[in-house]
């Protein structure tokens, strides 16, 4: 687990002089750099401002309004929280962006999708399987 928020900005974005206002902000909650490197390429776009943050520090992060992230990523299950906990928290915090839960392998994500939809119907949610079988890897 990380001690605090860590900003990881694309080298290409920094070299091109991109500003935070132009970058799409993404919160990577409880994700290791190795997992971030396995994300579908469009989620690692140089115009993204990837901010790694621990679950414990999420309460201090901006989740609504103009400075809120466009996307929140987290593992499907950790020792501290799971996607249901995260969906509930994001919904209660007024988050209006997209939330993607990441998992190495999963036979069927439909049960998880239904549970999250029932719990947080206003939340745009999906599961990304990191083995490359996710439709998001094709983008």
Q: Tell me whether strands 48-53 and 6-9 are parallel, antiparallel or unpaired.
A: antiparallel
Domain ranges of the chain: 6-138
Which residue do the tokens 């928290």 mark?
A: 89
pLDDT of residue 13: 46
pLDDT of residue 67: 93
6-138: CATH topology: Rossmann fold (3.40.50)
pLDDT tens string for the chain (139 positions)? 344 444 454 444 444 444 445 578 999 999 999 999 888 887 878 888 999 999 999 999 999 999 999 999 999 999 999 999 999 999 999 999 999 999 988 877 888 999 999 999 999 999 988 876 655 555 4
Kindly state the helix (H) or strand (E) to which residue 34 belongs, with its residue range: helix 33-37
Computed over its alpha carbons, how large is the radius of gyration of the chain?
Answer: 14
pTM of the predicted structure, to 2 decimals: 0.80
pLDDT of residue 16: 47
């Amino acid at each position: 687990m990380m001690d605090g928020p860590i900003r990881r900005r694309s080298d290409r974005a920094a070299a091109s002089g991109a500003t935070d206002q132009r970058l799409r902000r993404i919160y990577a909650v409880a994700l290791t750099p190795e997992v971030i490197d396995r994300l579908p390429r469009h989620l690692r776009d140089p115009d993204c401002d990837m901010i790694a943050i621990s679950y414990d520090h999420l309460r201090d992060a901006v989740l609504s309004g103009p400075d809120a992230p466009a996307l929140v990523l987290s593992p499907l299950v950790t020792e501290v929280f799971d996607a249901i906990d995260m969906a509930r928290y994001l919904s209660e915090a007024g988050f209006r962006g997209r939330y993607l839960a990441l998992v190495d392998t999963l036979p069927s994500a439909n049960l998880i999708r239904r549970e999250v939809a029932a719990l947080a119907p206003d939340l745009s949610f999906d599961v990304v399987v990191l083995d490359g079988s996710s439709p998001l890897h094709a983008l």
